[in-house]
Amino acid sequence: MRAVLNTGRNISQGIAVEHKGSPAYQAAVSVCHMNPVDLMELGIDEGEHVTLTSRAGSVVLTTRAAESMNRGEVFVPLGPYANHIISAETHATGMPDFKAEPVDVVPTDESVRTVWELMESIGGVRYDH
Amino acid sequence: MIIKDVVCPFCGCLCDDLDVEVDGQKIIKVQNGCTLAEATLTGNNRLPAPIRRTANGWEEISYDDAIRETADILCAADRPLLYGWSSTHGEAQSIGVHIAELIGAVIDNTSVVCHGPSILAIQEVGHPGCTLGQVKNRADVIVYWGCNPTEAHPRHMSRYTTFATGFFVPEAQKDRTVIVVDTRRTESAEIADEFIRIERGGDYEVLSALRAIVRGKGSILPREIAGVAREQLFRVAEICMKAKFGAIFFGLGLTMSNGKYKNVRNAIELTDELNRHTKFTISPLRGHGNVYGSNEVFTWITGYPYAVDFARGIAFYNPGETTAVDILRWGECDAALIVASDPGAHFPHAAAAHLAKIPTILIDPHRTATTPLCRLQIPCTMAGIDAEGTAYRMDGVPIRYKKLIESLYPDDADLLRRIHDRIREVQGA
Ligand code: SF4
């Protein structure tokens, strides 16, 4: 399914934001909110996983049904998961397209990576002492 | 011990009416704050000591070594980037700007990925704004455009708008009309008297349509504008023009969507049109506690609010060229100092990945998503918890952060001062 990715703050992201390695943070920001009809069209239930692929890369997320979403739009809270697939292009404004990234949404059995795994995939070294 | 009138450092509301109970070096209870305040003030995820990345992982090092190494890295760089600054106080921000000048660096703050475009629009057409106190006491029409204060600024509505009683608005819920404009039916939209749901990317069109109506040219409008019925826009324009005092607050729904600063410019120009009929103001809902302060401090010292490049020996500003995301995505900088922010989590990864390729130093109290990308991390105090200092509320009012507990860590202003002095020593030699 083709969709537009929107990102932003929400309460659970805000509560866990100073605990980036915590399960609560990962659970808060690795979620893909989408319209229940879109979920039905993909043939999956809430809680199953999808891969979102954009021009910048791809990432696996857990789905959550949200009546508030328009069809054809998905919302991922601000954080390392959303940013794994947001392009760095800023159109000479300094600001990336955090609310308008076109993505492909495909169901998957793959598991959601941890924040540290994501950071390692871009050259980081985890610190988990 | 209970400390009264504590300032919450989390979001740009900087609520200054919290009661915090402290037991020794621990904060045990937070009253009056929202859930975000409680999580911020009682959280405990501090990095215990400075760390350095080695070939085999991480090792702890002393503050002296960390400061020396930071100064050496910055002095050796051709194009250093100093980024962050929104979660600390003005005292640290100002030393950051002085370091940037000393080493000819680019210094940028987190407004580049939040309200940077709003600043660009304000530079084009000005800012008809006011303080939150004016809004609380006078505004009978409130518009929230492209923002969701219920989740991002949880007490904005109860302290200043929807649920706040004011001098000229004694019965908030009866006297104030709240309009929410968004592409999603957010929790804030549920509370609104009028919710305008626009198609994604349709903000500019809807703003233009409202301007046309306020100008008396509504007859040229098509039946539907970006998914919104013309009749609803006529109704909303009428509410706004009949207001005694209106206040628009806007968020990243305008600055991050297609059109970016042009959306904000159009919103400011709508405010201008409305002022031909009544009093109307517009202000950005600033995100991080002291992000507005970083714009203030950068501006007093350099003349520019963010994205300041000292490579020429003088301050130069050209967003799109001297902005952190662009400098990183082009692989332009060869060293980085990140202070009080987390680009590992909040920058597109194509840009953040460059931080792992160059020597990056992070000054931050917490283990963050930038920790794995850096070469050195130096833990410091957290402004508003174990350090005092000046912060600017989203409406530009300076507020003094209190120190609530004794710290085991150095203040980031002291760390930066020591790095600054060490750089001068190295340069002098
Ligand atoms: S609204 Fe913002 S400043 Fe006020 S208590 Fe909540 S997080 Fe803190």
Q: Does A20 have pLDDT greater than 90?
A: no
CB of residue B389 inside a 6 A radius of ligand 1: no
Q: What is the pLDDT of residues B157-205, one digit of tens each?
A: 999 999 999 999 999 888 999 999 999 899 999 999 999 999 999 999 9
**Chain A hits for B51, Cβ within 8 Å:** 127
Q: How high does pLDDT run on average in chain A?
A: 93
Where residue B429 falls among pLDDT bands split at 50, 70, 90?
Answer: low
Return the exposure string of B101-138: e unless at least 16 CB atoms fall within 10 Å of the residue's CB, then b.
bbbebbbbbbbbbbbbbbbbbbeeeebbbbbbebbbbb
Share of chain B above pLDDT 70, in %: 100
Residues of chain B with CATH 3.40.228.10: 116-284
The answer to whether the pTM exceeds 0.90 is yes
Ligand 1 centroid–CA B272 distance in Å is 30
Q: How far apart are CA A65 and CA A10, in angstroms?
A: 15
CB of residue B8 inside a 6 A radius of ligand 1: yes
Q: Does A129 have pLDDT greater than 80?
A: no
Q: How confident is the model over B132-149, as a mean pLDDT?
A: 96
Contact A88 B45 (CB under 8 A): no
Three-point CA angle B89, B153, B402, nearest 5°: 30
Q: How confident is the model over B408-424, as a mean pLDDT?
A: 96
Contact A97 B344 (CB under 8 A): no
Ligand 1 centroid–CA B286 distance in Å is 12
The residue of chain B nearest to residue A73, with distances taken between CA atoms, is: B200
CB burial of residue B239 (10 Å; 0-12, 13-18, 19+): middle
Going from N- to C-terminal start, the domains of chain A cover 2-120
Ligand 1 centroid–CA B15 distance in Å is 6
All residues at 6 or more sequence positions from B106 whose CB lies less than 8 Å from its CB, including other chains? B79, B80, B81, B82, B100, B307, B308, B309, B310, B311, B322, B324, B327, B333
Q: How confident is the model over B102-111, as a mean pLDDT?
A: 97
Q: How confident is the model over B230-242, as a mean pLDDT?
A: 98
Domain B47-114+289-428: which CATH number of 3.40.50.740, 3.30.1360.70, 3.20.20.70, 1.10.8.60: 3.40.50.740
Q: Are strands B376-378 and B360-363 parallel, antiparallel or unpaired?
A: parallel
B213 neighbors B235 (Cβ within 8 angstroms): no
Contact A8 B252 (CB under 8 A): yes
Q: What is the pLDDT of residues B259-307, one digit of tens each?
A: 999 999 999 999 999 999 999 999 999 999 999 999 999 999 999 999 9
- Which helix or strand (DSSP H or E) is residue A86 part of? none
CB of residue B41 inside a 6 A radius of ligand 1: no
**Nearest CA, atom 1, ligand 1:** B155
Complex prediction ipTM: 0.95
B118 neighbors B291 (Cβ within 8 angstroms): no
Query: Which amino acid, residue B75?
Result: C
Architecture in CATH of A2-120: Beta Barrel (2.40)
B423 neighbors B102 (Cβ within 8 angstroms): yes
**Nearest CA, atom 4, ligand 1:** B15
Q: How high does pLDDT run on average in chain B?
A: 95
Q: How far apart are CA B203 and CA B265, in angstroms?
A: 11
Structure-model confidence comparison of residues A99 and A19, the more confident one: A99
Of B53, B189, B348, the CB nearest to A88: B348
The residue of chain B nearest to residue A125, with distances taken between CA atoms, is: B372
Count of beta carbons in the 10 Å neighbourhood of residue B320: 15
Share of chain B above pLDDT 90, in %: 93
Three-point CA angle B64, B70, B72, nearest 5°: 105
Q: What is the pLDDT of residues A62-121, one digit of tens each?
A: 999 999 899 999 999 999 999 999 999 999 999 999 999 999 999 999 999 999 999 999
Determine the pLDDT at residue B291: 96
Phi and psi (nearest 5°) for A107? -65, 150
Angle, nearest 10°, between helix axes B291-302 and B90-103?
A: 40
Residues of chain B with CATH 3.40.50.740: 47-114+289-428
* B357 touches A: beta carbon within 8 Å: yes
Tokens of B168: 């000229």
Domain B116-284: which CATH number of 3.40.50.2300, 3.40.47.10, 3.40.228.10, 3.40.50.970: 3.40.228.10
